[in-house]
Amino acid sequence: MKESPEILKCFDPISLADMNKVKLLDRLDKKYMFHVSKFPDILAHAMSDYYALVIDGKNYAAYETTYFDTPDYQMYTMHHNGKLNRYKVRFRTYVDSNLNFFEIKFKTNKGRTIKSRIMLPEKDLSLTGDVKKLLEKKTAYKAEDLVPAMQVNYNRITLVNKKMTERITLDFNLDYMSHGKKVEIPELVIAEIKQDRSDKSPFVTIMQEKRILPVSLSKYCLGIASIVENVKLNNFKPKVRYVNQLFCKSA
C-alpha cells in the first residue's frame, strides 16, 4: 500500500498546531500489529472518535529514522530481555517538511515512556555538540559508545481522539536497512496508542473486537531481529513469526 486508505478523507481533520497540544512526551504506550488489508475497516470504526492529522493537504507523512546502539546491540538486548529503564536513541527526519530531530526515548520501570528531543538545523547523524550534551545528560551512554545500527523508513497516519487526550500512530510501508541489507514489510501496519494515563480507549475496543492482541515489539527491535545475525531472538521469535504470517494471510 503506497498511499493511505480512501476512508481517511472522511475523517474530521486536525492541524499540526492543534495536534501539538497533545504532545504526550511522558506517556503510556500500547502497540498492535495487523495486516494492511484490515486497515480500511479499522479506520472506518475509528472515524467517529478520532480526528486525522492533515498537513499541506496530505493525511499521511513519510518518516526516516536512524537508530543508534552499542556495537553489541545492548539497547536491543535489554528490550529482548524485558528490562525496563531502557533507552532508544535515534535521529528522525520528517521527510515532507524536512524537519530533523535527535530523540531519546526512555522506558521507565513504571512502564511509562519519556521522550526528550532537540530540533536540528539540518540532517546530521553526528553525536556532537548539543546532541552529545543531551545524550550524556539523559542516558548513561557516551557518544563514543554508540554507532548507527538501523535505518527505518515508513509512512505514518496520525489520529487524535476528540477528547484531545490520546494519539494513535499507524505506520505502514516499512522498510529496514542495516549494514548493506534491506528488508521490506509492506503488508504490516504497526499501531501505537499514546496516552498520558491509562484510560478507556475506543481504539483498544476496536482491537479487542477484531481480536488483535497487543504486542511488545518496537519497529527497531523488529528490524534488528529480521536483519542482524547473532543477536538474541528467543523472546521475539513468536512475534517475528506472527509478522511473517501476515505476508501470507489477509484476514
Percent above pLDDT 90 for the chain: 64
Residue pair 43/3 in contact by the 8 Å Cβ criterion: no
pLDDT at 34 over 50: yes
1 domain residue, yes or no: no
**pLDDT confidence of residue 245:** 74
**At 133, which helix (H) or strand (E)?**
helix 129-138
* Residue % of the chain over a pLDDT of 70: 94
pLDDT tens, 101-152? Answer: 999 999 888 878 889 999 999 999 999 999 999 999 999 999 999 999 999 9
24, pLDDT greater than 70: no
- Mean pLDDT of all residues in the chain? 90
Query: In this predicted structure, what is the pLDDT of residue 195?
Result: 83
The CATH number linked to 66 is 3.20.100.30
97 inside domain? yes
Q: How confident is the model at residue 250 (pLDDT cuts 50, 70, 90)?
A: very low
Q: Decide if pLDDT at 249 tops 80.
A: no
pLDDT at 186: 85
110: cell is 513504571
Q: Which of 2-6, 8-12, 184-188, 217-221 has the highest mean pLDDT?
A: 8-12
Backbone region of residue 56 per phi and psi (left: phi > 0; alpha: psi in -120 to 50; beta: other values): left
Give the three cell numbers for residue 173.
510501508
Cβ atoms of residues 114 and 130 within 8 Å: no
Q: Which of 44, 73, 40 is nearest to 178 (CA)?
A: 73
Going by pLDDT thresholds of 50, 70 and 90, the confidence category of residue 2 is: low
Phi, psi of 173 (to 5 degrees): 55, 45
Read off the C-alpha cell for 23.
504532545
Q: Which tens digit of pLDDT belongs to each residue from 204-240?
A: 999 999 999 998 778 999 999 989 988 998 888 888 8
Q: Is 170 domain-assigned? A: yes
Question: Is there a domain that residue 25 lies in?
Answer: yes
**Window from 29-33, 52-56, 247-251 with minimum mean pLDDT:** 247-251
Question: Where does the pLDDT of residue 248 fall: very low under 50, low under 70, confident under 90, or very high at 90 and above?
Answer: very low
Which structural domain range is residue 186 located in?
Answer: 6-246
pLDDT at 251 over 80: no
Residue, of 198 and 92, whose pLDDT is higher: 92
Number of domains in the chain: 1
